Structure 1
Amino acid sequence: MQVTTIDRFAPEPGELVTWAVDTEGRVPVASPVPPSFNQSVHLGGAEGATVWLAAAFDIDGPVDLKAAEYAYRALIARHGTLHSSFTRHGGEIVREVFDPDDLTLVERPPLRLDSGAALRQRLWSDFDAACGPFGFPAYLPAAISRPDRSTLICAFDHSHVDAWSISIIIDDLHSLYHGFLAEPGGFDADHLPMSGNFLDFCAAETLRPPTGPGDPRLREWVRFLDARDGTPPSFPLDLGVAPGESAPQGADVRPVLDAGATALFEAHCRRNGASLFAGVLSAMAGATRAMGGGPELALLFPMHTRHDEPARRAVGWFTTNAPLSVVAGLDLTETMRRTGPALRAAVRLGEIPIPEVVGAIGGLRQERSDVFMVSYVDYRALPGAGRHDAVRAHHVSNVTTADDAQFWLSRTESGLAIRSRFPDTATGRSVISDFLSEVIDAVARVPSEVRCR
């Protein structure tokens, strides 16, 4: 899986086809299932730029438009969140659900684009226009047809997908498309592995018994936030934007280690009681300290909530967050030995629903729209991972605005890479470039030293 941003996505020129989802004459049903916490936060801040994620992969030959239409329609029917939407009624956000049997796809006239840059820009503008959080649909199915090798690409508002979902979507679309090609009149989407429904997860959220106020995990959450005056953590180095200000988003995508070096680095982490993620976080704490940000790196990190088999195959926003403080030692290995146990303890804090945390401290005091966080996804373990390289699978994110730094670590068969999001100011660009260089240098020294022994 190649994790990138739309400004760096480089499709080959071709004929662009998009599909509209026709709902004319169809009336959705209001659902009693409220938005999840993540969805509520996302929808509450949805007045600005669109936040979407796209799944893209290659197929051989020109696009078979009937097979692509079948695959997209079956994907929508298969995943409950994709035939649901959000609307406002009297100041309240309401979820509405369409019967998937009522939905049809309407192919729009193709558009020939002979420049990769023009094609990227057209995709960017089309996705921005189509993938808003309110209204139906909040996504845009598309294809780029070429004589020898084509691309299926679909973008979704973030309220309906997470990183794991992107891998599921690619796997489902690949199976559905090629299944239709093999059996145009008889392929049954029910042959795919069983999938859960994200709306069921959202409903279950409302039925969960509350955590007791004496729960040590909740108390630890409160201590973490109280130490910061009830404010989520922010990146500790100056990025050139004051609280309350924002800037156009800067984006950086770069490799950290190749596959062999990643394995050596991970083995060193394991020998010192840490995971690969803990090892990189340790390097980040060391970089922060070296750049004058102090010895403690406080952050949030996302965790998936896919704890049963149906959820592992479901499209939706199955994530929560946990808090972590990484304290830099004198060298990377010493820091790893501290961070490993700290990260394992922090994972247990992620079991507490965020709304309960917010309630326990009487509400968050947010000085910035973004929250400093570091994410780690091992794409090798996700559905369809075995074909990611062969089909040139891409996870593409939008570029909008930013007022803090955020980092996404991705582990693939090719190794370890990092995507960064930050305010695109002169200070922000310089600081993040130096920070990433410090982190990568520290991580890369470990495999080099191991090889020299």
Structure 2
Amino acid sequence: MVFPGDELGLDSLALMELGAVLEERLPPTGQPHPHPAVRAPGAQQLETACRESGGTLFTGLLAAMAASVRDEGGPDAYRALVPVSLRGRHQYARSIGWFVNAVPVEIPAPRHLPLTALLPLARTAFEAGRQQADIHLVRAQRLLGHTDDPVAAYPSVSFLSYLDYRTAPGAEHPATSAAAVHLWSPACNGNLSWFHRTRSGLHLNTLHPDTPRARRTVASLVRTLSRTLRTLADGPGPLGAQPDCWGGGPVRARRPRGPEPGRSGPREPRRSDGR
């Protein structure tokens, strides 16, 4: 995340030291895990169902994750950090870098509400979180009087990101179908999920502590999430009856490639839901 140093009171050395402490004291993550994709026809059907319920594919993913975490034994409210782009702001318009911040969202997910009723709640939660895009998590912790302990500043969290790459330069190239879009951290204490959409469909990568319990927990969550998305997309011609729409096997992650010769670099992929 890119923020002016004086906003955080941290210089580059302090940030490097923060990363080293987190790596030393949090559980190691291992490698990111790509999961079977929702292929293009199924992704379009899912998006259509979300819009018919007053949402978007992004808010549908948030709502589906909230319901899935709840159904896996979690609380009746889904809390996560969601990245938002700051590049559109005037002061960063001609800068180079990854200008994002992660904002908190809290989505009520009471068991008596149908899944489609969670979509407007997800949108409201995201809009509320986006109003806090100028406040960095570390800065918020300090303003609230919390400890400067970096592990306490980054408690166990869920993280959910969604990007639509179909309008990015080179989106028609076969290499863009590789389900390998994610950030990597050598250590964490939560579940990080990256959804990205390409012309081949909707992909998911997860990163979590590399422990037996975490592997079992996240694998079960992803299975429940798949069923939840199928339920959300169910309508005329149910998604579950179209096996060609839903991936049937793992996807091998590939190393991201640099820009094509003669291109200064692709523009940022379009974020859904106004992000």
* TM score, norm. by length of structure 1: 0.44
Counterpart in 2 of 1:272? 53
Cα shift at 1:306? 0.8
**Residues in 2 aligned to 1:345 and 1:407: alpha-carbon distance in whole angstroms:** 21
Give the AA of the match of 1:343: F
Give the AA of the match of 1:361: L
Q: Structure 2 vs 1, CA of residues 452 and 417 (structure 1 numbering), >3 Å: closer, same or farther?
A: closer
Q: Structure 2 vs 1, CA of residues 35 and 292 (structure 1 numbering), >3 Å: closer, same or farther?
A: same
Structure 2 unmatched runs, 5+: 240-275
Q: Structure 2 vs 1, CA of residues 34 and 288 (structure 1 numbering), >3 Å: closer, same or farther?
A: closer
**Residues in 1 aligned to 2:145 and 2:124: alpha-carbon distance in whole angstroms:** 29
Counterpart in 2 of 1:286? 67
Counterpart in 2 of 1:327? 108
1:317-354 Cα shifts (integer Å, max 9, x gaps): 20112111112143321212321222223222224455
Q: Is the 1:256–1:440 Cα contact (8 Å) retained in structure 2?
A: no
**Residues in 2 aligned to 1:323 and 1:315: alpha-carbon distance in whole angstroms:** 25
1:77-113 Cα shifts (integer Å, max 9, x gaps): xxxxxxxxxxxxxxxxxxxxxxxxxxxxxxxxxxxxx
Q: Is the 1:286–1:331 Cα contact (8 Å) retained in structure 2?
A: no
Cα shift at 1:361? 1.2
Q: Is the 2:46–2:57 Cα contact (8 Å) retained in structure 1?
A: yes
Aligned ranges 1:199-214 → 2 under 5 Å: none
**Residues in 1 aligned to 2:19 and 2:131: alpha-carbon distance in whole angstroms:** 31
Counterpart in 2 of 1:166? none
Cα shift at 1:273? 2.3
Matched, 1:342 2:125: yes
1:244-297 Cα shifts (integer Å, max 9, x gaps): 652443531113411121122112212222221211111111111111112111
Cα shift at 1:432? 0.2
* TM score, norm. by length of structure 2: 0.69
Cα shift at 1:448? 3.8
Looking at both structures, which has the greater relative contact order when contacts are Cα pairs under 8 Å and sequence separation is at least 6?
Answer: 2
Aligned ranges 1:157-176 → 2 under 5 Å: none
Root-mean-square deviation (CA, aligned residues, Å) is 3.3
Q: Structure 2 vs 1, CA of residues 355 and 289 (structure 1 numbering), >3 Å: closer, same or farther?
A: closer
Give the AA of the match of 1:430: R
From 205, 212, 227, the equivalent of 1:441 is: 227
Matched, 1:357 2:140: yes
Counterpart in 1 of 2:195? 409
1:422-451 Cα shifts (integer Å, max 9, x gaps): 111111111000001101111123334342
Q: Determine which structure has more spread, i.e. the larger CA radius of gyration.
A: 1
**Residues in 1 aligned to 2:61 and 2:230: alpha-carbon distance in whole angstroms:** 10
Structure with the bigger percentage of strand: 1
Counterpart in 2 of 1:181? none
Counterpart in 1 of 2:174? 389
Q: Structure 2 vs 1, CA of residues 260 and 309 (structure 1 numbering), >3 Å: closer, same or farther?
A: farther
Give the AA of the match of 1:252: H
Aligned ranges 1:16-415 → 2 under 5 Å: 34=5, 42-47=15-20, 246-249=27-30, 251-308=32-89, 314-329=95-110, 330-354=113-137, 357-363=140-146, 366-367=151-152, 371-382=157-168, 384-389=169-174, 395=181, 397-398=183-184, 400-415=186-201
Q: Is the 2:81–2:105 Cα contact (8 Å) retained in structure 1?
A: yes
Q: Secondary structure at the match of 1:451?
A: coil
Give the AA of the match of 2:203: A
Cα shift at 1:48? 6.4
Give the AA of the match of 1:304: S
Q: Structure 2 vs 1, CA of residues 347 and 335 (structure 1 numbering), >3 Å: closer, same or farther?
A: same
User: Structure 1 stretch 328-337 or stretch 426-435: which is displaced more?
Assistant: 328-337
Cα shift at 1:355? 5.7
**Residues in 1 aligned to 2:182 and 2:84: alpha-carbon distance in whole angstroms:** 20
**Residues in 1 aligned to 2:177 and 2:75: alpha-carbon distance in whole angstroms:** 41
Q: Structure 2 vs 1, CA of residues 246 and 381 (structure 1 numbering), >3 Å: closer, same or farther?
A: same
Q: Secondary structure at the match of 1:44?
A: helix
**Residues in 1 aligned to 2:51 and 2:177: alpha-carbon distance in whole angstroms:** 31
**Residues in 1 aligned to 2:65 and 2:38: alpha-carbon distance in whole angstroms:** 15
Counterpart in 2 of 1:130? none
Give the AA of the match of 1:346: G
Counterpart in 2 of 1:451? 237
Q: Is the 2:181–2:194 Cα contact (8 Å) retained in structure 1?
A: no
**Residues in 2 aligned to 1:406 and 1:39: alpha-carbon distance in whole angstroms:** 26
Cα shift at 1:391? 6.9
Structure 1 unmatched runs, 5+: 1-32, 51-243
Q: Is the 1:303–1:321 Cα contact (8 Å) retained in structure 2?
A: yes
Q: Structure 2 vs 1, CA of residues 44 and 397 (structure 1 numbering), >3 Å: closer, same or farther?
A: same
Give aligned pairs, total: 227
Q: Percent identity?
A: 23
Q: Structure 2 vs 1, CA of residues 304 and 381 (structure 1 numbering), >3 Å: closer, same or farther?
A: farther
**Residues in 1 aligned to 2:138 and 2:91: alpha-carbon distance in whole angstroms:** 24
Counterpart in 2 of 1:12? none
Q: Structure 2 vs 1, CA of residues 310 and 352 (structure 1 numbering), >3 Å: closer, same or farther?
A: closer
**Residues in 1 aligned to 2:203 and 2:176: alpha-carbon distance in whole angstroms:** 19
